[in-house]
Amino acid sequence: MLTRIKLLTYYFNFSRLKIERDFPQENSHTKALSALYWLVSYMLAALFFVLLLNVVDYDVIVDAWPYDFGREHGKNFIAPSAVFFLVVWYLIRRAFIASFLNEKAIVEIEQFYRSESIEQKEHDYLINIDTFLFYATTTSIVFQVWPAFVFCFALFSAQEVWIRKRFSPSKSQN
């Protein structure tokens, strides 16, 4: 299911190619996927946590689970936001590994993007821009700067459309 989002497959494929070029001794598939699921985890954890804080009264959360994990007491072994992030990260990681690290998905992704390489500067730059956009999106969520979030989302959407048009099978057959 995640492989239907071309923005994710684009990032996975071209960051994998960049890792193969720059660090040939590394396992490019797992490194590229690791970079991708960390970025998505940051963004989704921030989004879910902000939604949680807007739905549930903050005092209720603090009463149930104090955030000051420096004190020793029976209710709290780690801050709630850290536990929340670890759960989101683990679930995202499992979903990405299941979706991307199998032979069928890798072959489909490589076939979809086979016409172009990382040596084309636009792909090299776009991976760095996407990384920045993931962090900018996460930051806009954390600080609840919704116009910036909408702007980042619009850029991601535009890139999704661009990827689908640029790499569509009908283009490669002509």
- pLDDT at residue 72, rounded to an integer: 53
Helices 6-22 and 121-142, interaxial angle, to 10°? 120
- pLDDT at residue 174, rounded to an integer: 45
- Tokens describing residue 137: 């999106």
> Whole-number mean pLDDT of the chain?
89
Alpha helices in 23-79 (DSSP H): 28-55, 58-64
φ/ψ region of 144 (left if φ > 0, alpha if ψ in -120 to 50, else beta) reads left
Average pLDDT (150-160) is: 97
Q: How confident is the model at residue 71 (pLDDT cuts 50, 70, 90)?
A: low
The tally of domains found in the chain comes to 1
Domain that holds residue 12: 2-173
Residues 37 and 76: beta-carbon distance below 8 Å: no
DSSP 8-class letter at 1: -
